Amino acid sequence: MQTAPRDAQLPVTREQGLEFLRQMLLIRRFEERAEQAYTEGKIGGFLHLYIGEEAIAVGAMAGLNADDDVVTHYRDHGYALARGIDPKNAMAELYGKATGICKGKGGSMHFADPKKHFWGGYAIVGGHIPLAVGLAFAAQYQNQPRVAVAIFGDGATNIGMFHESLNMAKVWNVPMIILVENNQYGMGTAVHRASAVPDMVTKALGYNIPAAQVDGNDVLAMRDAMMVAALKARRGEGPQFIEAKTYRFRGHSMGDPQRYRTKEEVEKMKARDPIVRFELQLVEHELATQDDFAFLRNDVDRVASEAVEFAETSPFPDPSELYSDVFAPEASNG
Amino acid sequence: MAEKSYRDAIKDALREEMKRDERVFIMGEEVGVWGGTYAVTRGLHDEFGDKRVRDTPIAEAVIVGAAIGAAMGGLRPVAELMTINFSLVAIDQIVNNASKMYYMFGGQFNCPVVIRTPAGWGQLAATHSQSFEAWYASLPGLIVAMPGTPYDAKGLLKSALRSNNPVMFIEHARLYGVTGQVPDGEYFVPFGKSDVKRAGKDVTIVTYSRMLHVSLAAAAKLAQEGIEAEVIDLRTLRPLDMNPVIESVKKTHRALIVEEDWVSCGMGAEIVARIAKDAFDYLDAPVERLGAIEVPMPYSKPLELMALPEEKHVIAAVKQMIA
Ligand SMILES: Cc1ncc(C[n+]2csc(CCOP(=O)(O)OP(=O)(O)O)c2C)c(N)n1
């Protein structure tokens, strides 16, 4: 087990640092607006908020190339935004509008944009992990220097598909990165009540896959861990595993009464807010000031408001959309 | 034309497409060094090597799931599952990923994966003698092919390997040795085209896969008694082509569905409903269904044979309908 190297100097430029902060703030604001729209009845179904875990998506995506393949689970808004998906189309998807990233057919749990090599959020726990094995294999088969990343929670490490995937990824030595967000709970079940081992990295070692345990609330540590993993996978060292320790500030999804944890625990963990921490670091290292933060907060407020406005004023899908996209068009044979 | 086994017809389709298209590769348990549990891929590992014919761990979920991922990544994977019984371990991948992704993500990317798997039986008892085609055929977004002849097996598999959609390609373990005429050159059997395998005027038999042979044998015997059965092979269960069936029923006024699966909630139920809707006024008798006895398959040989529909049952059912 390794831990990502930390530096006495903050290993980030002012521009990069402010960009990471902007993305984290945008995700948070986006989620808050989504939450608000949900309570107003404008968004239906399940809504899993990413608040508190922003540093993982932003750091991890920053450590990848634009053509690396990403699949994630239903808590997917943060990754979509960090991957550069327009918040307008993301919000419109939540509203089920025609301008949504998936034309309103996927909803919160199923964002995707293959142009950004963001192959989707998947709502069956663990069901997307094998897809990343296949994406990584496709890169290997075609001699392309891409890596494929599968992202999911601690809870998903207990399902069979996780184990089948890690094993075959190692046997085939494919350039796959397994990123586990250990936010301490799978719905209302604490890790120790569901997993035989408390540290997810232990499970990787069982498959002889190198594993790093990272502070998931530290955006730079996340970026570094992903860069190291991607470098190794890209140069043929096979699958790599990252466990990001974090905490989800909100319920599992909307309407979760959170009987499984105390308010005190949540408050204590909120003291480790990844955004506040990063702001402090930036100030401490004299890379940014409170004015910068105020500017960024204003900026993401505007972007999130525009996204809501866009979603609200967009039309619902044409009724013909109900019937389209069941089968892809067939090319003529020959 | 050449006389070829169902097994070799399938292998030919695989070989032709692998030669033609670098993106086509095979993965599954024992497909490589062993040569395939039912010897369908025998020789292909020697011919194409480890890269294109890939042995996997015993892990059906990741076999199908990784094939889907590889398809997303630009390849044309063929995932072989040893038998359809084991597809249950991978059913989440088939149901929730393969058959949904094109629609769910708004048509942004498709999933050209072929899942090859045999149904069948042979004193293998309850867990190894099942036929789940009706489950898969109930899924929008998944093509389900179930060929009965070497000709159709090759032609349908060629279509599957060129398709832009996920295909569940269900073979039959007891048909691998059956031979038939197969053209020498390249040809395709399209999806969604039922085939009249024998013309007749007195009764319509609707069937597919191995029951095609049972039905044709029964039809030959019935002909000797002056009863002309029309035998229609569905070939693909989704898309399902009912046109020849409806046309036939309008002529014969009677229909019998013969399947190897349990009849409750099986393919036959769907076909009866469609006949009832589109040819109700033409029927002179209730549509009948013949299938396996509704018990888990027993091991003992005589019991196993009792559980399956045979020629004599088809003959008896037809005679009863005509009487
Ligand atoms: C196969 C399956 N079983 C159960 C569920 C219901 N479910 C959705 S999320 C979840 C908890 C998953 O927890 P974890 O993997 O830790 O991810 P987190 O939500 O904490 O990010 C469960 C049980 C599901 N979607 N899929």
Write out pLDDT tens, residues B224-279: 999 999 999 999 999 999 999 999 999 999 999 999 999 999 999 999 999 999 99
Residue B218: which H helix or E strand, with range? helix B211-224
pLDDT at A221: 98
For the cut 90, the answer to whether the pLDDT of residue B306 exceeds it is yes
Average pLDDT over residues A51-59: 98
- ∠ Cα B179 B181 B183 (to 5°): 135
Q: How many CB atoms within 10 Å of residue B179?
A: 15
Which residue, chain included where needed, has tokens 């006895």?
B293
pLDDT at A334: 46
For the cut 80, the answer to whether the pLDDT of residue A94 exceeds it is yes
pTM of the model: 0.94
Ligand 1 nearest-atom number relative to CA A182 = 16
pLDDT at A332: 72
For the cut 50, the answer to whether the pLDDT of residue A1 exceeds it is no
Average pLDDT over residues A310-329: 96
Q: pLDDT band at A333, cuts 50/70/90? A: low
- pLDDT, tens only, A26-40: 999 999 999 999 999
- pLDDT, tens only, B116-150: 999 999 999 999 999 999 999 999 999 999 999 99
- pLDDT, tens only, A305-317: 999 999 999 999 9
Choose, from B45, B128, B172, B213, the residue flagged as catalytic: B128
- pLDDT, tens only, B168-181: 999 999 999 999 99
Enter the ipTM.
0.92
pLDDT at A4: 46
What is the sign, positive or negative, of the torsion defined by CA atoms of B211, B216, B220, B225? positive
At a CB cut-off of 8 Å and minimum separation 6, what does B318 contact? B203, B205, B218, B222, B227, B229, B256
Q: What's the whole-number average pLDDT of chain B? A: 97
pLDDT at B323: 85
Least confident of A296-300, B5-9, B299-303: B299-303
For the cut 80, the answer to whether the pLDDT of residue A5 exceeds it is no
Choose, from B60, B80, B171, B270, the residue flagged as catalytic: B60
Q: Amino acid letter at B50?
A: D
Does B60 participate in catalysis according to the annotation? yes
Contact B107 A168 (CB under 8 A): no
Residue pairs spanning A and B at CB distance below 8 A: 157
pLDDT at A7: 53
Ligand 1 nearest-atom number relative to CA B92 = 1
In whole angstroms, what is the distance from residue A168 CA to residue A173 CA?
8
Average pLDDT over residues A258-265: 95
